[in-house]
Amino acid sequence: MAAVASGRCVGVRCRLCLMLTGQWTGLCGKAPSRFYSGSATLPKIEGANVTGIEEVVIPKKKTWDKVAVLQALASTVNRDSTAAPYAFQDDPYLIPTSSVESRSFLLAKKSGANAAKFIINSYPKYFQKDTAEPHIPCLMPEYFEPQIEGISEAALKERIKLKKVRASVDMFDQLLQAGTAVSLETSNSLLDLLCYYGDQEPSADNHFHQSEKSEELEEAIEENNEKSKKAGHQFGVTWRAKNNAERIFALMLEKNSHSYCTMIRGMVKHRALVQALNLYTELLNNRLHADVYTFNALIEATALSMNEKLEDKWNKILELLKEMAAQKVKPNLQTFNTILKCLRRFYSFGRLPALQTFREMKAIGIEPSLATYHYIIQLFYQHENPSKGSSLIIYDIMNELKGKKFSPKDPDDDMFFQSAMRVCSVLRDLELAYQVHGLLNTGDNWKFIGPDHRRNFYYSKFFSLLCLMEQIDVTLKWYKDLIPSVFLPRSQTLIDLLQALDVANRLEVIPQIWKDSKEYGHSFRNALKEEILMLMARDRHPPELQVAFADCAADIRSTYESQDARQTAPDWPANPLNYIAVLFLRGGRTQEA
Amino acid sequence: MFPRVSAIIPLRLLSPFPLCPGGSEAPAAAIVRLGAPHGTVRTKNEVHRYFGTNNVICNKKDEQSAPTRDISKETETQESVKENTKKDLLGIIKGMRVELSTAKVQTTRPPNRRQLKSIEATTGRLHKVPEDAPKKRTKSLSPELVAAAAAVADVLPFDKQMTKSELLRQLQQHEEVSKAQKDGERAKISVSNIISDMKIAKSSTARVSTRPVHQIQFDEGSNDYVGQKKTNDLKKSLRKNMLKGKRLNIFDLKAVTEEAPETETAPSLWDVEFAKQLAEVNEQPLQNGFEEMIQWTKEGKLWEFPINNEADQLGFLHMAAVEFLTARKSKD
């Protein structure tokens, strides 16, 4: 079914109402056009006959994506701010109350699915019965073992496709011993495999590990490591000298630029920087041309090399770029992003080059992605110390980005919002934060918020800034909106909120906050409890409020008591005791005091 | 809340400034008023005073420029002018005290004291440079202002040393005044911040790890006002900064945009993996049931809507083929 569906579809996306109306006309149009071939001509004739009526234009038949209807429906649903995110089961016991819990719940869900898949794939013979009609390929067991036996190039290709590093290296060796030549293409793909995975098997649990981003060291590219399904790169994979990749590279009779390029890329990926640069000179000696990806890798290699001064490194990078232009290799977005990423290590020296690079990028017409802006922000706001007269470039950036929608172009795109919000909070600029948040809500940009921890960071910073700078009513509105449906607050966030309440003299909300805190699992956070107690005990309040406060205090006292029961050390900090006593007295509960 | 409070205050601050020129222009103003007769000067001062206590700064400055003039010009009217200036200064001091006390902030007292000292200096010893004050003040002037004052002093046809020292003193007083005002403002704004800062300090000691955010808050709770003024001024100038300016000039637009003949190669492993990484960037957990259904439809687990009965012909055939083959195998 999937195959057929993909054959039929040309995805056309429209707005909601257009979609629905278009859907109906599409349907109506489809049916007649399929069965009555002549119907399309009828209205035209009519129109031609009747003078004074403009000609009827029949719209082109619209083909709709198979998910068009669903997408239309999905776009009507807005976030429900009183509910937990959809990903969680809608059961009171299974709704997370803290960010730690939410992460573990999601992981549990995912790992359950993965475990099931693992079992199906490990014992395919038990899962052969296929009752689904039409056939659902992805639910059937997958085959990971190579089928073709014997020594042949086809077998080698299959093993490469299945990403089996060891097996394909062995097959290659066997082929060479048998005397058959391996074609250049196959050799190259073998090299690719080895270089990408650094002579390691790709991790079998591909789906289980999140592949880390490129900052990790990767093992040297073993030649044509089998492209096993392992995409998880282990830490500390370094390029071992004389590994399989280099060996096979040496054995290859003819090498084209692709071979060199992939070797260089692999070396850089696995941090064999000097060798990469040497290989590059060899490539030039052989009068071959490197492609843009190789240049990107070389730039990274230059920037990461240890022993040079920053200006020298920068000059070398400029030289590489000039060679690139001379060889008529077109730079792409990754080129500039790599440069900016490496400039981060240059600290303040890198600011001017970074701006120059940015302008170059715009001059050539390459549209910067969110990752570009992220690197620039990182470079200019590296230390959280605004007293040095921090740069105001963030304002430029936000002006530039107003209203733009983005699509993923760089793996680091999802770090932008986090760093932007960090800068906002450092600069204490609420308006800027609103701008950033507005950008987040434009179009599909919300998807760039990144994984859980980044989203939590973003919203915590945002909310803290709101507590600091915004009017208390607006803050409380945001509070109701964001918590718990978007993020679950840490105790620090709640403390910030309490302080904002204090400043705005709205202490009557405190019992409510305490109730929420209990819900979010902060009952045993001493700092939070002390804060609450102190705020309540500090001034005298009208009597009803005192009663509410006294209830609250009783509650807190009970948490202390239960906590003591759990732990052996029965130390009540002095301050809470004071506060509780005072509150009880004021609330007319002298007995309990 | 606080930014709005702070927004009002600069308006009040800025209004007197047009009336009284800034520090660097003080010498020029002094030059201008040199020609005017004393009577008009005096009335001008009184007029300034009636404008309100906001113009305290201007009044004080005028009083100081008056003595400058007196130094350089007629000596017989000096006594009467001095008396008048003393009276006016006392009035100003009283006004200042009232104004600052209404703020109810402790931190404005030091600037008050500083200002009092400078006023006493001018009234007490018109000719001699006061000893203690300049030691504080000489640090606060920027070298350009000093150089400008020296240049002006050279131009004026009076005793150069005297005018220069007087001008410098005025500039420094102006600096102090403006700083004091700023401090006053900052202090006013940060009243609540101070309170909340105190709380933050306490809670941060209670916690094991002090968060850098709060440390910053404690240190610079008062930078908001200054920062905002700065940003509004510099925002416009910086806007051009990012986009305009020198570029690397390595690549040529023409060369880059021409379409080189691309050899069609199958995407290598690198490309495939990169595409996978990119797809992961945008991944977010599903937001509602429809998105889940979309996901399933894409994976092929769900029927597509509207239901197409002629769909999956290939699937059907494939299944039939598989059944046929397996049946055949079992026969063998």
- Chain B residue closest to A137 (CA)? B300
Contact A137 B300 (CB under 8 A): yes
Please give the residue that has the higher pLDDT: either A373 or B186: A373
Interatomic CA distance for residues B330 and B322, integer angstroms: 12
Supply A361's token pair. Answer: 């990028």
Question: Distances in Å between the alpha carbon of B248 and those of A372, A531, B21?
Answer: 16, 54, 44
* A576 touches A533 (CB < 8 A): yes
Per-residue pLDDT, averaged over A314-337, amounts to 87
Query: Residue A526: is its pLDDT beyond 50?
Result: yes
Question: Distances in Å between the alpha carbon of A168 and those of A234, A464, B110, B143?
Answer: 21, 55, 81, 75
Interatomic CA distance for residues B123 and A320, integer angstroms: 71
* A253: Cβ contacts below 8 Å, ≥ 6 apart: A181
pLDDT of residue B87: 61
Q: How confident is the model at residue A511 (pLDDT cuts 50, 70, 90)?
A: confident
The closest of B195, B42, B298 to A501, measured between CA atoms, is: B195
CA B194 from chain center: how many Å? 20
* A158 touches A226 (CB < 8 A): no
Supply A410's token pair. Answer: 């760089």
Query: Residue A31: is its pLDDT beyond 50?
Result: no
Interatomic CA distance for residues A301 and A273, integer angstroms: 5
Quick check: B244 contacting A, CB < 8 Å? yes
The closest of B318, B284, B279, B324 to A2, measured between CA atoms, is: B318
ipTM over 0.90: no
pLDDT of residue A302: 87
* A3 touches B311 (CB < 8 A): no
Interatomic CA distance for residues A556 and A233, integer angstroms: 48
A453-509 per-position pLDDT tens digit: 888 889 989 998 888 888 888 888 888 888 777 778 887 888 888 888 888 877 778
| CB-side neighbour CA atoms (13 Å) of B310 | 2
Share of chain B above pLDDT 90, in %: 0
Share of chain A above pLDDT 90, in %: 1
The closest of A351, A349, A354, A383 to A368, measured between CA atoms, is: A354
To the nearest whole angstrom, how far is the Cα of A89 from the nearest Cα of chain B? 12
pLDDT of residue B110: 42
Helix, strand, coil share of chain B (percent; to 5): 75, 0, 25
Which of B211, B288, B305 is facing A69, going by the closest CB pair? Answer: B305
Share of chain B above pLDDT 70, in %: 22
Query: Residue B194: is its pLDDT beyond 60?
Result: no
pLDDT of residue A561: 72
- Give the lowest-confidence range in A158-167, A361-370, A524-533, B68-77: B68-77
Per-residue pLDDT, averaged over A135-145, amounts to 75
- Give the lowest-confidence range in A111-115, A163-167, B75-79, B263-267: B75-79
Quick check: B50 contacting A, CB < 8 Å? no
Query: Residue A280: is its pLDDT beyond 50?
Result: yes
Contact B251 A325 (CB under 8 A): yes
Contact B312 A134 (CB under 8 A): yes
How many CB atoms neighbour CB B50 within 10 A? 8
Question: Distances in Å between the alpha carbon of B167 and those of A67, B66, B159, B172?
Answer: 79, 12, 12, 9
* A577 touches A583 (CB < 8 A): no
Which of B250, B287, B329 should one mutate to test binding to chain A, selecting the residue with the greatest count of A CBs within 10 A?
B250
Which of A1, A193, A363 is facing B269, going by the closest CB pair? Answer: A193
Contact A77 B290 (CB under 8 A): yes
Three-point CA angle A434, A436, A440, nearest 5°: 110
B79-109 per-position pLDDT tens digit: 555 556 666 665 565 555 544 444 443 333 4
pTM above 0.90, yes or no: no
A47-97 per-position pLDDT tens digit: 444 455 677 888 888 777 778 888 888 888 887 777 778 888 888 888 888
Peptide bond into A411 cis (omega under 30): no
pLDDT of residue A33: 39
Q: Residue for token digits 């475990």?
A: A115
Which of B198, B251, B262, B316 should one mutate to test binding to chain A, selecting the residue with the greatest count of A CBs within 10 A?
B251
pLDDT of residue A112: 92
pLDDT of residue A393: 81
Chain A residues within an 8 Å CB radius of B298: 67
Cβ-count burial of A198 within 10 angstroms (0-12 exposed, 13-18 middle, 19+ buried)?
Answer: buried
Query: Residue A210: is its pLDDT beyond 50?
Result: no
pLDDT of residue B317: 58
Per-residue pLDDT, averaged over A539-564, amounts to 72
* A228 touches A252 (CB < 8 A): no
Quick check: B200 contacting A, CB < 8 Å? yes
Peptide bond into A141 cis (omega under 30): no
* B39 touches B69 (CB < 8 A): no
Q: How confident is the model at residue B204 (pLDDT cuts 50, 70, 90)?
A: very low
- Give the lowest-confidence range in A58-72, A177-191, A230-244, A333-347: A230-244
Contact A471 B252 (CB under 8 A): no
- Chain A residue closest to B276 (CA)? A411
The closest of A379, A357, A353, A378 to A368, measured between CA atoms, is: A357
Query: Residue B53: is its pLDDT beyond 60?
Result: no
Please give the residue that has the higher pLDDT: either A253 or A313: A313
Q: Please, what is the average pLDDT of chain B? A: 56
* B72: Cβ contacts below 8 Å, ≥ 6 apart: B34, B156, B158, B159, B162, B163
Please give the residue that has the higher pLDDT: either A36 or A267: A267
DSSP string, B291-330: HHHHHHHHHT-S--SS--TT--HHHHHHHHHHHHHHHHHH
Q: How confident is the model at residue B30 (pLDDT cuts 50, 70, 90)?
A: very low
Share of chain A above pLDDT 70, in %: 77
Q: Residue for token digits 């068009």?
A: A68
* B187 touches B107 (CB < 8 A): yes
Cβ-count burial of A21 within 10 angstroms (0-12 exposed, 13-18 middle, 19+ buried)?
Answer: exposed
Chain B residues within an 8 Å CB radius of A407: 282
Query: Residue B165: is its pLDDT beyond 60?
Result: yes
Which of B265, B268, B325 should one mutate to test binding to chain A, selecting the residue with the greatest count of A CBs within 10 A?
B268
Per-residue pLDDT, averaged over A5-21, amounts to 42
Supply B141's token pair. Answer: 């002037």
Supply B325's token pair. Answer: 């083959």
To the nearest whole angstrom, how far is the Cα of A99 from the nearest Cα of chain B? 15
Query: Residue A524: is its pLDDT beyond 60?
Result: yes
Chain B residues within an 8 Å CB radius of A261: none
Which of A70, A409, A527 is facing B305, going by the closest CB pair? Answer: A70
Chain A residues within an 8 Å CB radius of B293: 70
Which of A267, A415, A428, A441 should one mutate to test binding to chain B, selecting the residue with the greatest count of B CBs within 10 A?
A428
Contact A395 B196 (CB under 8 A): no
Contact B227 A356 (CB under 8 A): no
Chain A residues within an 8 Å CB radius of B320: none
pLDDT of residue B48: 45
Q: Please, what is the average pLDDT of chain A? A: 75
